[in-house]
Amino acid sequence: WSLPNAEHYALQYADGRQTYITESNRREIKNGSILRLATSPDQEAQRLYNGIQSKNVDVKTDSLKKLASLSQDVTFAQEFISRNGLKQIYSIVEEGNDTGEMLTHTLKAFTELMEHDFVSWENLSTVFIKKIVSYVNMNTVDASIQQLSLSILENMVPTSRLFFELVKKEVTLDRLLTHLQVTNAQLKAMALLIALLLTATDAERRDMMDYLREKNIRQFIHKNIIHSSEPLGDEMAHYLYVLQSVSLNLCEHRMRTSMDPYSQEQRELLQSLRQAAFESESEVPASNYSTERRRSLCAKEFRKLGFMNNSNPAEDLRRAPPGLLALDNMVYFSRNTPNAYSRFVLENSSREDKHECPFARSSIQLTLILCEILHIGEPCSETAQAFYPMFFGQDHFFEELFCICIQLVNKTWKEMRATQEDFDKVMQVVREQITRTLALKPTSLELFKTRVNVLNYSEILKLRQTERLHQEETLAVPVLELRERLKPELLELIRQQRLLHLCEGTLFRKISSRRRQDKLWYCRLSPNHKVLHYGDVEEGVHSPPIESLPEKIPVADMKMLLVGKECPHTKEKSSGKQNKDVLELAFSIVHDVEEYCLNFIAPTRYEFCLWTDGLNVLLGKEMMSERTQTDLDVLLSMELKLRLLDLENISIPDTPPPIPKPPSNLNFCYDFSHAEQ
């Protein structure tokens, strides 16, 4: 364009983020993008660098506002930082006492510039950090300043142990909990809380989680975040997943610790299991027996409890994981649900040996399964959002979940009529029951309990069979392609069948709003599919000739089809069981210029499906009834089986074989031109 001093100008997107066009991103310009000529990034950076040092408050504020906007652009950010622009921003924050618009733009610009990772967070001064902390702790400061300050602290905490300790000391957990209760600061406060928890040592994390538990953070999240009127965003879902993960990982230490047979405390826990199950029923206390007799009795009782090594049950708990966590769960179950515990143990100790469900062995394996499903001991994913709403709805979540699932093991064991040899199979089914139920995201443990118990062994077998059939049918890509190719042809066949049915006609009953009347009427489509004929008929007449039906509606005058509640004749009816049945069978044709309705009550659901499909075909619309899908599935299945009959036991490749090269010459072809002469 022959501009003087062309290097002082640059192209910039006119919409959206207004990024500068450079050599590196020029190929990303899409056709139709609007660009504008602007001052080059280095000139703009210099201008704003001078502007933010101005003594004039308005110039300074405007410069900071523009800086906050342009700092998103990497080219501009590089130019501004190279002029030591960040130092000026530090001094505005450190020296300024302003908490208004100017500070908002300053913090926004700082956040955007730091996003580009040209400068390390570790370069920040303690004075700057304390100033940011003071904005978080102020009650009177603007909400946007608090959000930006929380965001800055969140980014800063993981970069240095010194920063972590400073922020943890200055911004108390109580202060963060206060911010959590303010809707617009909730997300940033949660982000900082998560950053602090992830940066803390194991001991610090445990102390912080204990304090948060005392402050009922779980109940607050369950009530005000998960069940709030606002939908849960992806970012908050991720923070809740991390909080759940951090909380569950507090069990990791116990999970990785084997039982110490010489620990008095652990031995007492083990003995408490035996005493809770058997000592209440024994009239003579065990202390009255000789040592040998007492040892023999204890071994017998531990065997009934389901320990494999009944003379030294501590050996069963040497495997880690699940280690001591399995013992904790068993003790929790015996103390918090004593009736269920006694019933489990006594019921199985009185069964035949081969059919008894071993409580201890099942508990150890179940604890391991729950640790794997809930990813205990695994680091948090940086992107996952898969938290369980019921986790925040229950104290002692892991233990309570165990109590439900150990009773599920016993139930499934009985349903499968299992023996000791089937132990692994039973646990596999239980794992599937738990995983499938958790995938439904139940909102409470009660709901989980209901759903997991409904999903019994026979349901699991049905689901497995359905999935296997589905898998077999859709194994090869060519089979899927063939299926899609056959669909239009078979749908046309279904359309023809529906229209033929309408041509044969159907006998309908009239229903008045006062009482059921035995008046009958007949409706059928003309053979050329252009007119619907209908009229009253006498009882006993099954297929009246088309000439005897006086009324008619040209198909061209039909406007639309109404079904169920939309029909005018169902709106007049009172509620009741009969009305519910009528609703499922009612449909109406809106016709003519004045929009008259011809109202139908189909005699059966089958007739309803055929008529609504046929009328939709006449109106040029898709067939929507469930019968269409069933018929299509049956026809597709039959057609596929017929087509693939010769390919039995032959594996179908995913890609077609390569086409061979054409021959070098075509002299082998017969020349018909000579024969014709």
User: Domains along the chain?
Assistant: 1-119 (1.25.10.10), 256-279+292-469 (no CATH), 487-630 (2.30.29.30)
How far apart, in whole angstroms, are the C-alpha atoms of residue 247 and residue 441?
18
User: Which residue is listed with tokens 């210029």?
Assistant: 593
Look up residue 514 and give its two tokens.
């006062």
Residue 447, number of CB atoms within 10 A of its CB: 16
Work out the number of other CB atoms within 10 angstroms of the CB of residue 294.
14
Angle at 234 between CA 231 and CA 240, to 5 degrees: 90
Residues whose CB falls within 8 Å of the CB of residue 600, separated by 6 or more in sequence, listed in order: 508, 523, 586, 587, 588, 589, 611
Owner of token pair 């062995």 = 361
Neighbours of 304 (CB within 10 A): 21
Across the 677 residues of the chain, what is the mean pLDDT of every consecutive 10-residue run?
68 74 77 80 84 85 87 85 85 76 88 86 85 84 86 89 88 87 85 91 92 89 85 88 93 91 89 81 51 80 85 86 92 93 86 80 94 91 84 90 95 90 93 94 92 92 77 65 90 94 89 59 92 86 85 88 84 58 84 78 90 93 90 88 75 78 78 61
Determine which helix (DSSP H) or strand (DSSP E) holds 627, and give its type and residue range: helix 626-643
User: Which pLDDT value is given to residue 282?
Assistant: 47
For the stretch 116-132, what's the b/e string if a residue is b when 16 or more beta carbons lie within 10 angstroms of its beta carbon?
eeeeebeebeeebbebb
Residue 134 to residue 603: CA distance in whole angstroms: 76
HSE, CB side, 13 Å, CA atoms: give it for residue 624. 9
Look-up: residue for tokens 């602007």? 38
In angstroms, how far is the first alpha carbon of the chain from the final one? Answer: 73
Nearest CA among 206, 140, 128 for reference residue 167: 128
Spatial distance between the Cα atoms of 108 and 65, rounded to a whole number of angstroms: 9
Report yes or no: 539 and 520 within 8 Å, Cβ to Cβ. yes
Strands 558-563 and 506-511: unpaired
Q: How far apart are CA 279 and CA 316, in angstroms?
A: 22
Are the C-beta atoms of residues 427 and 366 closer than 8 Å to each other? yes
Surface-to-core class of residue 181, CB atoms within 10 Å of its CB (0-12 exposed, 13-18 middle, 19+ buried): exposed
Q: Is the pTM of this model over 0.75?
A: no
